[in-house]
Amino acid sequence: MRKFVIVTTCKGRLAHLKQTAPLVMESIKDRPNWQWLVVDYDCPDDTRHWLTDEHPDAIVVAVDKAPKFNKPSALNIGAATAFGHLNANYVVFQDADTIVKDPEIYEWIEDNAAPDSFLIYPSDGGTKDLTGFLALGKKAFIDSLGFDVAFDVWGGEDLEYRLRLYLLLGYFFDEVPPDFLGSIAHSDQMRTQFQGKQDVELLKFSSLDKIFHKFATVLQKPVQEAAAGEDGRYILRLLGILPDLSHAAAGGTRARHAINSC
């Protein structure tokens, strides 16, 4: 039986976890091959002790002396623990503010997870704050060398990772049915509270600019030019800015897409 571990990071998001943790634990309580791991990244809310008291079946990885939040680092720590210590076959990255609206999401993931693909929330799924949701297998994570810790301010690490899996490593992607998940609305201040006073819109621009330049070098042509071709639709979709794929299957389940640009 394949083993799955949900990885969630937390720094200053205990209020969100108090809403989403019961939904996660209820959804996997009868799934012996599923576990939930939370990376407490020096969280000032003392998340580790709250989880130990309220959800003792959750696994907590504690990171100390980290006043600035580096989300890629936290995600890598969670994945390394899941694939290593917990011997997982697949990891599901799921943010603290992600709401499980239908527990069948995890059965769907079991049915659709494959070593040569990764799973994401669709860009036209109706909830804009779910680009952090991603599921993939152990080999894909090892091949990718994990998230890029150079994305050490808010935003962009998830989009860069999707593109790297797709463009550089040739992994396919599927999209989960959007009705399975939702997200807790919150302020931009919560997004950047451990990275100094930052303008979220400027951070978005900076992250996209970094991504464009990174992959333009790989492709040996501007990403904007690549986006005009067949694979460009998938590039834009991975960036969360393409409204639809004309041949996408109904019901939220998508055909797998292979890269042919590189």
pLDDT tens for residues 136-190? 999 999 999 999 888 766 667 888 899 889 888 999 899 999 999 999 975 555 5
Asked whether residue 258 carries a pLDDT value surpassing 60, the answer given is no
Residue 225 half-sphere exposure toward CB, CA atoms < 13 A: 9
Q: What global pTM score does this model have?
A: 0.81
User: How many separate domains does the chain show?
Assistant: 1
The answer to whether position 223 is within a domain reads yes
Query: Could you identify the residue written with the tokens 């951070």?
Result: 203
The answer to whether position 262 is within a domain reads no
The answer to whether position 179 is within a domain reads yes
Per DSSP, the residues of 229-252 read STTHHHHHHHTT-----TTPPGGG
What CATH number did the domain enclosing 103 receive? Answer: 3.90.550.10
pLDDT band at 38 (very low <50, low <70, confident <90, very high): very high
The answer to whether position 259 is within a domain reads no
The answer to whether position 90 is within a domain reads yes
Nearest 5°: CA angle at 241, between 212 and 76?
A: 60
- Domain hosting 68: range is 4-252
The answer to whether position 260 is within a domain reads no
Mean pLDDT of the 207-232 span: 59
Rounded CA separation 204/209 (Å): 8
* 3-class secondary structure, 237: helix
Distances in Å between the Cα of 214 and the Cα atoms of 69, 145, 159, 167 are 23, 16, 12, 11
The answer to whether position 159 is within a domain reads yes
pLDDT in tens, 15-27: 999 999 999 999 9
In 3-state terms the chain splits into helix, strand, coil percentages (rounded to 5) of 40, 15, 45
Q: Which two tokens stand for residue 16?
A: 């969100």
φ, ψ of residue 36 in degrees (nearest 5)? -115, 130
The answer to whether position 234 is within a domain reads yes
Task: Using DSSP bridges, classify how beta strands 134-137 and 90-93 pair: parallel, antiparallel or unpaired.
Answer: antiparallel
Mean pLDDT of the 61-74 span: 89
Mean pLDDT of the 182-202 span: 64
